[in-house]
C-alpha cells in the first residue's frame, strides 16, 4: 500500500490554474421580498371549477391550487417571477406537517412563474389540508403566510376521492 501512495506526486498550486470562461456566467436574479398577506384569503377561481386562488382581495393572486381529476394530480402555482430554466423546492409548513414540492419556472405569457404538479395522494400536500395558518416558502420568492381556510382541505379531499 505504501508503494502505491509513493507513486503519486503531491498536489501543487500549478494544477489550480483555470481558464476564464468566454461568456460571463449567469446567476439567479436578486431575491424578491415576501409579499404582504394581511387580509389574504382563499377563493374559488373564476377560470376553472377545480381551482382555488390565494391572495389579498382586489390584488393579483399569490398562489393557486388546482385538481386534475383525469391524472389524479394537484398543481400548485406561485405567482412570482422566476428565472427561465430555474427549479426549486416549495416548502409548505403548518398544521403539524411539512411538505416539500419540486417546482419549475414555467413560461406564462412573457414571463416565468413557479409551478409544480404532484400526485394528489402525496403527503406533501398535508400542510394545506388543515384548519390552521401555514407558510409557503420558495427560495428567491420569499414566504407567503397562508391564513386558515377550509377551501384547500376541501379541494385536496375532493381530488383524492375522485382519484380513488
At residue 138, the pLDDT reads: 94
At residue 27, the pLDDT reads: 60
Q: In tens digits, what is the pLDDT along the chain, a chain of 164 residues?
A: 555 555 666 555 555 555 656 665 566 677 777 888 899 999 999 888 899 999 999 999 999 999 998 899 999 999 999 999 999 999 999 999 999 999 999 999 999 999 999 999 999 999 998 899 999 999 889 999 999 999 999 999 999 987 55
All three cell numbers of 114, joined, read 413557479
Total domains in the fold of the chain: 1
All three cell numbers of 64, joined, read 393557486
At residue 48, the pLDDT reads: 86
Please write the tens of the pLDDT for every residue from 29-75: 777 778 888 999 999 998 888 999 999 999 999 999 999 988 999 99
At residue 26, the pLDDT reads: 61
130 located within any domain: yes
7 located within any domain: no
CATH number at residue 157: 2.60.40
User: What does the alpha-carbon distance between residue 31 and residue 140 come to, in Å, rounded to a whole number?
Assistant: 4
1 located within any domain: no
Which residues are CB-contacts of 31 (< 8 A; sequence separation ≥ 6)? 139, 140, 141, 142
104 located within any domain: yes
13 located within any domain: no
98 located within any domain: yes
Name the residue range of residue 120's domain: 39-163
30 located within any domain: no
61 located within any domain: yes
User: What does the alpha-carbon distance between residue 61 and residue 59 come to, in Å, rounded to a whole number?
Assistant: 6
Sheet containing strand 73-78, strands side by side: 41-44, 51-55, 63-68, 73-78, 111-119, 97-108, 87-94, 134-138, 142-146
In angstroms, the first-to-last Cα distance of the chain is 60
Amino acid at each position: 500500500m505504501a508503494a502505491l501512495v509513493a507513486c503519486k506526486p503531491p498536489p501543487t498550486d500549478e494544477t489550480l490554474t483555470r481558464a476564464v470562461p468566454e461568456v460571463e456566467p449567469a446567476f439567479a436574479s436578486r431575491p424578491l421580498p415576501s409579499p404582504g398577506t394581511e387580509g389574504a384569503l382563499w377563493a374559488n377561481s373564476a377560470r376553472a371549477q377545480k381551482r382555488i386562488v390565494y391572495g389579498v382581495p382586489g390584488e393579483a393572486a399569490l398562489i393557486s391550487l388546482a385538481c386534475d381529476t383525469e391524472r389524479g394530480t394537484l398543481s400548485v402555482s406561485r405567482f412570482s417571477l422566476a428565472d427561465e430554466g430555474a427549479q426549486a423546492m416549495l416548502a409548505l409548513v403548518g398544521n403539524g406537517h411539512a411538505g416539500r414540492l419540486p417546482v419549475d419556472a414555467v413560461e406564462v405569457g412573457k414571463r416565468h412563474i413557479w409551478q409544480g404538479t404532484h400526485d394528489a395522494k402525496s403527503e406533501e400536500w398535508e400542510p394545506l389540508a388543515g384548519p390552521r395558518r401555514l407558510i409557503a416558502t420558495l427560495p428567491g420568492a420569499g414566504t407567503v403566510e397562508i391564513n386558515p381556510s377550509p377551501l384547500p382541505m376541501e379541494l385536496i379531499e375532493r381530488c383524492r376521492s375522485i382519484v380513488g
